[in-house]
A = this chain, B = another copy of it.
């Protein structure tokens, strides 16, 4: 489970606020964030994410940006990848930020 391979991601202390904001300043990636808000692991398939209109390589690109910014983590198991939010790391580094962002997306502009 947890000891599967993980794709490269920044250490908690290396998560940079500007990079995170830049990563989330895109409609597709902010929508991915809302999908991940449930804390569960998600596949990369665009059809499971309400992104049917996007090419799978485009979604792959966006997920890489999120991961390299430190927003998500990706666990590799067989031919599947399981993406989830790094909630604890983000909360520790930027207290209240994630909650405020998720609340903001829920209240309307998501």
Contact = CB atoms under 8 A, between A and B. Distances in A.
Interface string A19-42: 101111111001000000000000
With most chain B CB atoms within 10 A of its CB, the pick from A22, A24, A25 is A25
Interface residues of A, number: 25
Contacts of A17: 30, 101, 104-105, 109-110
A95 B103 contact: yes
Given A23-B25, A25-B21, A104 B100 contact: no
A83 B92 CA distance: 32
Interface of A: 16-19, 21-27, 30, 93-97, 99-101, 103-105, 109-110
